[in-house]
Structure 1
Amino acid sequence: MNANHELGRRGEDAAAAYLRSLGWRVLARNWRCPEGELDIVAHDGRRHVFCEVKTRTSVAFGHPAEAVTPAKARRLRRLALRWAREHGVRPDRIRIDLLGLIGGRGPGFTVDHRREVA
């Protein structure tokens, strides 16, 4: 596994731990279908939340949130709706969040949680 994949894996682990610390249930990680992948599917007690996780060691090349382009946002919406259909969840009971993690050289990450990004 190369350094970027390792950083991404550790970031997703930290993101899942962060969501659990909020009292959320993590329902799925790395859910895949032919159209793509959802990083984390969670439930916040009221709605199903689809979390895109972006991890960077610093903001030297931009904030993690900048990686969610309009095209990426459209794809996330399609994937979230597909997951919802397959799991019997009403579309009005879902939302898409971004978890931007920065750090990873030391023991932890700073988490920037942005709600309803797509």
Structure 2
Amino acid sequence: MAAHNDLGRKGEEIAKDYLGSKGYKVICRNWRRSQAEVDLIAEFGQRFIFIEVKTRTGTFFGEPETFVGAAKQRNMQFAAEKFIEIRDHQGEIRFDIISILFGSYGSYNLRHIEDAFWPGF
């Protein structure tokens, strides 16, 4: 398996553990609708939170969260619409980004950006 895939999975696991420590209940990982994917879906109270996890080892090309562009946001919204429909969710939703930047010796910096963008539906 490619190293970047391993790094991404490690980041998702760290993000899942972080969310759990903050009282979120992660209900789904890597949820797909066609080609659109949401890394993590969590519940917090009556709200569904759709989370993109971006993991990097450096900032040469920018902070990890800068890689969640308009196309990725549209894909997440597309996937979220179906998830909401299947679950018949009537409550609030939110789109977050968790940015993980690895340093030396396995250290990392995690940034949780709540309400990172607003859905267009």
Q: TM-score, normalised by structure 2?
A: 0.88
Question: Where has structure 1 moved over 4 Å in runs of 4 or more?
Answer: none
| Cα pair 1:7 1:104 within 8 Å, conserved | no
Q: How far apart, CA to CA, are the structure 2 residues paired with 1:105 and 1:11?
A: 15
Matched residue count: 117
| Cα pair 2:96 2:112 within 8 Å, conserved | yes
Q: Percent identity over the alignment?
A: 36
Partner of 2:14: 14
Partner of 2:92: 93
Cα distance, 1:51 vs structure 2: 0.4
Partner of 2:79: 79
| Cα pair 2:98 2:110 within 8 Å, conserved | yes
Secondary structure of 1:61's counterpart equals: coil
Provide closer, same or farther for how the CA distance between residues 104 and 25 of structure 1 changes in structure 2, counting only shifts above 3 A. farther
| 2:46 partner amino acid | R
Cα distance, 1:35 vs structure 2: 3.7
| 1:40 partner amino acid | L
- Superposition RMSD on alpha carbons, in Å? 1.5
Q: How far apart, CA to CA, are the structure 2 residues paired with 1:43 and 1:116?
A: 14
Q: How far apart, CA to CA, are the structure 2 residues paired with 1:109 and 1:13?
A: 13
| 2:105 partner amino acid | G
Q: Unaligned stretches of 5+ in structure 1?
A: none
| Cα pair 1:54 1:98 within 8 Å, conserved | yes
Q: What does 1:50-65 correspond to in 2, within 5 Å?
A: 50-65=50-65
| Cα pair 2:37 2:75 within 8 Å, conserved | no
Cα distance, 1:46 vs structure 2: 3.2
Q: Unaligned stretches of 5+ in structure 2?
A: none
Q: TM-score, normalised by structure 1?
A: 0.90
Cα distance, 1:104 vs structure 2: 6.0
